Structure 1
Amino acid sequence: MGDLEIFDRIESEVRGYIRSFPVVFDSARGSTLTTADGRDYLDFFAGAGVLNYGHNNPLFTQALIEYLQRDGIIHGLDMATSAKRAFLEAFEARILKPRGLDYKVQFAGPTGANAVEAALKVARQATGRSNVVAFTNGFHGLSLGALAATSNKKYRDAAGASLDNVTRLPYDGYLGAGIDTLDLFEKMLDDTGSGLDLPAAVIVETVQGEGGINVASAPWLQRLRAITEARGILLIVDDIQAGVGRTGGFFSFEDSGIVPDIVTVSKSISASGLPMAIVLMRREVDVWKPGAHTGTFRGNNLAFITARAALDAYWADTTFMDEVARKSELLRAELEKIAAEYSAIEFTVRGRGLMYGIASTKRPELAGNVSAAAFERGLVIETSGARDEVLKFLPALTITDDELLAGLAIVRESLAAVLAV
């Protein structure tokens, strides 16, 4: 499996995924990871949602090679470059205009947490208010401002400081079927005795990835948008994992018909795994003074090159979205079959697009055990949820049907093996 001694001896104890997948990976292409000693693994992890277009997509590799060979600008801070201009032009033409969206684009530092920090800060500046509403099981990053909006106790306990100015409310479905959790939000907003200060913003994931593949319904999102709009509260949609085609449309909120005030995008926006993050905001929200929010690596021109190539190759028409929808139906049908075959375990299947989870409240330990067993059989698949109780399916959107079915076969085999013990 490769020598991990140097990692154990020198790398910080904070490392995580290496513990679940203890091999030395050396190369990758499409949906296949290859170790230093030559073993192939099918990838249902996709870099936690960074690699929506697969590993080392040749379209992006070629664009990068050509750019590097001509000595294209690599580091540009927030100066104007031809690479940034080409990305902005493509993003406006391929994504914003077809969806009737009139957003300004802010290039934040290169991670999703950087984008969330910027979004929260500009929302507070634009409204003059400090409180933010976030939801149970939400994940928005681990820097302090983003962590204040993140729910998981494991991450919050590591903060080492108070996490203020965020009010936590129940997400859609948190209180069970048939209960609209927004009744509580609306009641608290209208009751001067509730203790809820009028928020600057509400931050929400339309599909909670790290929180356990919890899906907000379109009516719930529409009501949330109506509540915030009526009261002058900015709505931030965190599309860092659920966006860029992962749940079907380019943005995860498209199917609901809502238009957020602010959207955070990272992970797969660069298309290639190169670090990149952006904040989209309505023009009236863009109250920044020049230089008020900076970052040394907010101008990753290599990421602009691959991001632009992806927009031109995959988002010029609906072909790519149609393929994701078709594969989504295949994935859901196969997961429903597994749930039916093991009805005594009481599996639930949830998700959208190619972002799915299967979980058992009766046997929450199964997800981690199946993930480990699948890795032994050549499949990389992670877990999510507050107790890691959800087996999380996050394959590349470019995965072939054969690869998808092969991975599902490994999951079936792994589940059978775990239950036989």
Structure 2
Amino acid sequence: MTDLPPVFTTLESEVRGYCRTWPTVFDQARGSRVYDADGRSWVDFFAGAGALNYGHNNPRMKRPLLAYLERDGLTHALDMATQAKQAFLETFDEVVLKPRALDYKVQFPGPTGTNAVEAALKLARKVTGREAVVGFTNAFHGMTLGALAVTGNSMKRAGAGIPLVHATPMPYDNYLGGRTPDFLWFESLLEDSGSGLNKPAAVIVETVQGEGGINVARAEWLRGLAELCKRHDILLIVDDVQMGCGRTGPFFSFEAAGITPDIVCLSKSISGYGLPMAVTLFRRELDVWSPGEHNGTFRGYNPAFVTATAALDYWRDDALEKDVFASGEQIGRVLGDLVDEFAGLGAEQRGVGLVRGLTFEDPDTADRISAEAFRRGLLVETSGPRGEVVKLMPPLTIAQDELDEGLDLFTSAVRAAARG
């Protein structure tokens, strides 16, 4: 199927995006493979933009979800106490927080990543009494107004329709190509009373900028940022919406840098099953909310608690983390071979764990690769400020044969697009 039924073009808004890249009607999915209504299949190196780290319809989550629904388990409960929420909180504390010595409170701000970010920004401003928040070049934090204000992409920012204020961009790691010491500009502004920079309430950062083009911050850069924030009494927010839940290897992407953020935003794969769920974590002493001061109708979606609790079983040992590193190294080797093969076209690879990218000097090459991959039976998307990076994000649980198949398809697509 190559043409969509007319209802999608005549009735659905022009804002739709992914269906333009992948013009078929999808119907089923299992593990690392999706199927359209005609039965054609694709290996999935997209994973719901990071919302399906454990694959599609993972039976370890599907079975408890179906059992919960079959017994008429409570679906909608706002922020009431429920057994499903209790099980998640207890398991999250046991499996994730305590082993990492993280004394965080848990807030359910609403069902999406941008909800988690908005809660983090509001809380930082409430705690400090300051308005400004520092973000970074090429950052992406969500599509609501507060999150957009600390997002770098000009096209997405323009969609706000109003000025986006109380946010200041700073250069991300290696943005200036190593020409200046880390944080020279930032700290100079903070220490100069004539700089015009109001002291920020917080800094918000992604350890790996996924939508920004698979830009990986060095561990030493992240440690330097954490130390700067501590020196200047600024809260550090890590947006782990896309890179958390094991995407880079450990459960939290900031673990490798050895830092402890003041506030952490999680969503996407926290539910484990692709169900809407988000979490904002913060140091216990920052919990200055009044009851109901930040809320949302779907901040307690109990089916998501059920699947999220089941997903945490993957983190009772380090087996999945080791698999992520091994699969990531395999992808890195394949990308390295392609970089060597197409050195004359300025090929470059980026990434860590199971978030990888390939880019060429000609930014249109990424679109051609994505299209060629779709025709061959592989789903990959593009990212970066010009869509110049082909982004590979397979499920963390992908089987070896499907990983091999997907990489073969990707290699074929790259060769066709780069040479054609």
The corresponding residue for 1:378 is 377
Q: Which residue of 1 aligns with 2:217?
A: 216
Identity %: 57
What does residue range 73-84 of structure 1 map to in structure 2 within 5 Å? 73-84=74-85
Q: TM-score, normalised by structure 2?
A: 0.98
**By how many angstroms is 1:357 displaced?**
0.7
The residue type equivalent to 1:151 in the other structure is G
Looking at structure 1, the residues matched to 4 and 356 of structure 2 have their Cα atoms a distance apart, in angstroms, of 33
Aligned partners of 1:208 and 1:215 also within 8 Å: yes
Amino acid at match of 1:390: V
1: CA distance, partners of 2:79 / 2:301: 9
SS at match of 1:413: helix
Normalised by the length of structure 1, the TM-score is 0.98
Deviation at 1:180, TM superposition (A): 3.1
Distance apart, 1:208 and its partner CA:
0.2
Q: Is the 8 A contact 1:172 1:180 kept in 2?
A: no
Q: How does 1:79-158 map to 2 (within 5 A)?
A: 79-158=80-159
Tell me how far 1:178 sits from its aligned partner: 5.2
In the TM superposition, 1:7-406 aligns within 5 A as 7-177=8-178, 179-312=180-313, 314-360=314-360, 362-406=361-405
Other structure's SS at 1:97 match = helix
Paired residue secondary structure (1:414)? helix
Q: Does structure 2 conserve the Cα–Cα contact (< 8 Å) formed by 1:53 and 1:396?
A: yes
User: What is the distance in 2 between the residues matched to 1:187 and 1:214?
Assistant: 24
Deviations 1:128-173 (A, max 9, x none): 0000000000000010111101110110111111100000110001
Counterpart amino acid of residue 95 in structure 2: R
Residue 6 (str. 1) matches residue 10 (str. 2) = no
C-alpha contact 1:171 1:181 (8 A) present in aligned 2 = no
Aligned-partner residue type, residue 401 of structure 2: D
Q: How big is each residue's C-alpha offset from its partner over 1:292-314, in whole Å with a ceiling of 9 and x where there is no partner?
A: 000000000000000000102x0
Cα deviation, 1:225-254, whole Å, max 9, x if unaligned, reads: 001011110000000001000001000000
4+ long deviations beyond 6 Å: none
Q: Is the 8 A contact 1:44 1:379 kept in 2?
A: yes
Matched-pair contact (CA < 8 Å) for 1:60–1:310: yes
Aligned counterparts of 2:161 and 2:191: Cα–Cα separation in 1: 34
Q: Distance in 2 between matches of 1:77 and 1:92?
A: 21
CA distance in 2 between counterparts of 1:155 and 1:247 reads 26
- Segments of 5+ residues of structure 2 without an aligned counterpart are none
Which deviates further from its counterpart, 170-179 or 82-91?
170-179
SS in 1 for 2:228: helix
1:169–1:3 CA distance, 2 compared to 1 (3 A)? closer
Q: Is the 8 A contact 1:175 1:181 kept in 2?
A: no
| Correspondence for 2:410 | 411
In 1, Cα distance between equivalents of 2:171 and 2:137 = 5
CA gap of 1:179–1:404, structure 2 versus 1, over 3 A, is farther
Contact in 2 for aligned 1:170/1:181 (Cα 8 Å):
no
| Distance in 2 separating the partners of 1:346 and 1:3 | 36
Per-residue deviation at 1:3?
A: 4.1
Letter in 2 for 1:352: V
The answer as to whether partners of 1:173 and 1:180 remain within 8 angstroms in 2 is: no
Q: Which stretch shows the higher mean deviation, 402-411 or 126-135?
A: 402-411
CA distance in 2, matches of 1:277, 1:358: 30
Give how far 1:419 is off.
Answer: 2.9
Greater Cα shift, 168-177 or 179-188: 179-188
- Contact 1:218/1:255 (<8 A) preserved: yes
User: Structure 1, residues 85-113: CA drift from partner, whole Å, max 9, x if none?
Assistant: 00000000000001010000000110000
SS in 2 for 1:252: coil
Partner of 2:74, secondary structure, is: coil
Displacement, 1:332?
Answer: 0.8
Match of 1:308, SS state, is: helix
Q: 2:45·2:379 contact (CA, 8 Å) conserved in 1?
A: yes
Find the aligned partners of 1:309 and 1:420 in 2 and give their Cα distance: 46
Looking at structure 1, the residues matched to 181 and 206 of structure 2 have their Cα atoms a distance apart, in angstroms, of 17
In the alignment, the residues of structure 1 paired with residue 158 and residue 193 of structure 2 have an alpha-carbon distance, to the nearest angstrom, of 31
RMSD of aligned residue pairs (Cα, Å): 0.9
Shift of residue 193 of structure 1? 1.2
Separation in 2, partners of 1:308, 1:229: 33
Q: What amino acid does structure 2 have at the position aligned with 1:332? A: G
Tell me, yes or no, if the aligned pair for 1:275 and 1:303 is still in contact at 8 Å.
yes
Quick check: 1:222–1:258 contact (8 Å CA) kept in 2? yes
